[in-house]
Chains A and B, each alone.
Chain A
Amino acid sequence: MIDAIAGGFNYWVVVGLIMIGLYMVAGSANLVKKVIGLSVFQSGVFILFITMGKVSGGSAPIASGTVSVYSNPLPHVLILTAIVVGVATTAVALALVVRIHESYGSLEEGDVTGADREQDR
């Protein structure tokens, strides 16, 4: 039991972060909190990739005479790209939030949808 938890510790963290992130996106009414949730959700996925690249006992993948076991660098490179994508997404999301705040005067999802429904009528 303890082995199962300790052995897959990183994966439990990943599942936890993804769940927390998705819950924040769905559960909170504040738009900024939704963006935070989205970031937490994406961070969970980043850790999933990075964990897979780790080889236990492996060193940084730089060729040298003394080391023979290396970690896999490719997932780390992929995640660098994914982090850039995540930052860009957060930036666009926050820019939209600023514009929404300017034109609706609120950051609460309920106010925004309420105002939309009013306007649709």
Chain B
Amino acid sequence: MSATASGLAGHLPALQVVAPLLAAPACILLHDARRVWWLAFGVSAAALAIALALLSRVMGGEVLSYALGGWAPPWGIEYRVDALNALVMVLVSGISVVTLVFARESVAREMAAERIYLFYTAWLLCLTGLLGMAATGDAFNVFVFLEISSLATYTLVAFGNDRRALAAAFRYLVMGTIGGTFILIGIGLLYGVTGTLNMADLAVRLEPLRDNPAVRAAFAFIIAGAGLKVAMFPLHAWLPSAYAYAPSAATAFIAATSTKVAVYIMLRFTFTIFGVEFSFDTLALAKALMVFAVIGVFAASMAAIMQRELKRMFAWSSIAQVGYMLIGIAAANMDGLTASMAHLFNHALMKGALFLAIGCVIYRTGAANLDSVAGLGWRMPWTFSALALAGLSLVGVPFTAGFISKWYLLLSVLANGWWLLAAVLVVTSLMAVVYVGKVVESAWFRTPAPGTIAEQAREAPVMMLAPLWALTLANLWFGIETTVPVTVARTAAAALLGLAP
């Protein structure tokens, strides 16, 4: 459709990906930390503007198709934008903008000045990969962008100033490469059977091939590969260390975006390519996902309670939250998918805010564990009240964004008559109260150990508080003004199920 549209507006789906891709090598040429930051920020802001423009165009349920290089699909690579991936692109580029504002001060403190331009190069490549995975309608292209974003992510993690960051990045690389290659095997098998790589074309040609063993094997490989990237329960081992030792700004960016895009990839393959009937009736994906999700939610919440280091605590909590999204997918009905989509969005807001708050603490005191934050609530009131509010959203207290998605999740679970699962949701939310409560208790109700930095700590700089509070207020705003996110999530869910919104 837009291949014929004239002017720049017709090329928006491609520009979205091309702009950060071209800006990344430009960062190396510019070299100067300040100029590189402006470039990264400008490109992210442009990507956000494009994503918003795309979202507004597809909200009516239509699909934008863009033929890359003018080669018509299914032969050429197609970029295909509907409400679902437009939402993901808005999320990714929006989080990039917000965390970059924060990164300016934080990165200058956490790493050597002469390496900063490389950090932003990796950041832009990661953004390219994440946006590309969301935009593309070509299965092989997904793999390429997945690897671009993954390689950039390993680099971002390795920028952490602790040597444990290197070991964490290496472990993440080994697991991530196996996951990515599993997806590649799956795509290869699909291509062998159908002779096409275009997602829409694949969906049509796979329809009569439901009993083909190669298709079933492809499904298994792709779910396992995507599950690794999502950090689905037994495949989550890479996540806590990677998040804990990455630079603070990178943690906030990765935690809020990369698992979300992986969830999107899982949704795209199960619903659009393989189809609901194949995934859920022929192969009982729901049962498998449900088992892993429930164990994951429990075990990861438990692990989060045991942690003393805040980054690690909320990294474990991320694994638990991914479990909620998987439960919504497993429900495979309108409410469940709406809940998954809404939670995908809301979780990015809350985890973004939480990791930014932790970044502020690290900026001022150099550490963030339950002992080092003792009494800091009084010395850094803005940081810790934001942390507490985002924590409430994580728990799912009414009038926060987290409540909305959990409410929809509860509705969908009850609609399917899964009472036990409803109980699981409530109990694990209470477990979140415990670990968020431990942080709050330490920050406000304990006195700092004498002679530590915490005694003299000042509030974080405004340039770091502004993005933190932007995300925190977004958590509150989307908890009260629910029509916009729920409508977008509903349209996205409808796009997946192939229904009218």
Contact = CB atoms under 8 A, between A and B. Distances in A.
B210 interface: no
Contacts of A42: 177, 181
Given A52-B188, A52-B192, A85-B144, A22 B178 contact: yes
Interface string B250-283: 0000000000000000000000000000000000
Contacts of A112: 167
Contacts of B158: 96, 99
A59 interface: no
B185 A89 contact: no
Interface in B164-220: 164, 166-167, 169-170, 173-174, 177-178, 181, 184-185, 188, 191-192
Contacts of B154: 92, 96
Contact of A100 (B166, B178, B181): B166
Interface string A15-45: 0001000100100000100100010011001
Q: How large is the interface on B (under 10, 10 to 19, 20 to 34, 35 or more residues)?
A: 20 to 34
B335 interface: no
A98 to B, nearest CB: 10
A120 to B, nearest CB: 8
A100 B170 contact: yes
Contacts of A45: 181, 184-185, 188
Interface stretch (A1-9, A60-68, A74-82): A74-82
A21 B345 CA distance: 37
Contact of A116 (B155, B167, B192): B167
B166 A103 contact: yes
Contact of A97 (B144, B163, B170, B185): B170
Contacts of A38: 174, 177-178
B163 A85 contact: no
A112 to B, nearest CB: 5
A70 interface: no
Contact of A93 (B144, B147, B170, B185): B170
Interface string B142-167: 01100100010011001000011011
Nearest to A48: B188
B147 A85 contact: yes
B169 A96 contact: yes
Contacts of A119: 164
B181 A103 contact: no
Given A75-B191, A103-B163, A96 B173 contact: yes
Given A82-B184, A89-B147, A92-B151, A34 B167 contact: no
B129 to A, nearest CB: 11
Nearest to A14: B185
B166 A99 contact: yes
A113 interface: yes
Nearest to A72: B195
B140 interface: yes
Nearest to B75: A74
Contacts of B151: 88-89, 92
A23 to B, nearest CB: 12
Contacts of A12: none
B217 to A, nearest CB: 11
A117 to B, nearest CB: 10
Interface in B111-165: 140, 143-144, 147, 151, 154-155, 158, 163-164
A48 B154 CA distance: 27
Contacts of B155: 92
B49 to A, nearest CB: 30
Interface in A93-112: 93, 96-97, 99-100, 103-104, 112
Given A78-B140, A85-B144, A41 B166 contact: no
A96 B166 contact: yes
B313 to A, nearest CB: 14
Contacts of B192: 52
B181 A104 contact: no
7 contacts: A42-B177, A45-B184, A49-B191, A93-B174, A96-B154, A96-B158, A96-B173
Interface of B: 140, 143-144, 147, 151, 154-155, 158, 163-164, 166-167, 169-170, 173-174, 177-178, 181, 184-185, 188, 191-192
The 5 closest A-B pairs by CB, nearest first: A103-B163, A52-B192, A85-B147, A96-B170, A100-B166
Interface of A: 18, 22, 25, 31, 34, 38, 41-42, 45, 48-49, 52, 75, 78, 81-82, 85, 88-89, 92-93, 96-97, 99-100, 103-104, 112-113, 116, 119
